[in-house]
């Protein structure tokens, strides 16, 4: 797992907590921020995975 993939997973976890807190406190702004953090995390994770796959393909390594 690459650094970007790990960062993405962390952003998703942080966003999930923030979204939950927003729902709990009925704070729509915090809830929306949490959803945005999750989306950012998913994008970052996908970028890291794609980068790793390209590197592995160029290196001739099919391992994930």
Residue 22 falls within a domain, yes or no?
yes
**The pLDDT of residue 23:** 97
pLDDT above 90 for 1: no
Residue 63 falls within a domain, yes or no?
no
Residue 20 falls within a domain, yes or no?
yes
**The pLDDT of residue 60:** 84
Residue 41 falls within a domain, yes or no?
yes
Beta carbons of 22 and 33 less than 8 angstroms apart: yes
**pLDDT tens for each residue of 33-56:** 999 999 999 999 999 999 999 999
**pLDDT tens for each residue of 14-36:** 999 999 999 999 999 999 999 99
Residue 18 falls within a domain, yes or no?
yes
* Cβ neighbours around 19 below 10 Å, total: 19
Q: Per the structure, how many domains does the chain have?
A: 1
17-48-1-5 Cα dihedral, nearest 10 degrees = -10
Q: Which residue has tokens 């995975």?
A: 49
Give 51's contacts (C-beta < 8 A, 6+ positions apart).
2, 4
Domain range enclosing 10: 3-56
């Amino acid at each position: 797992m690459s650094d970007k993939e790990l960062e993405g997973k962390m952003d998703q976890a942080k966003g999930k907590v923030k979204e939950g807190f927003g729902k709990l406190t009925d704070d729509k702004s915090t809830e929306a921020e949490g959803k945005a953090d999750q989306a950012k995390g998913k994008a970052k994770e996908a970028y890291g995975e794609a980068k790793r796959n390209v590197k592995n393909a160029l290196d001739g390594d099919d391992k994930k």
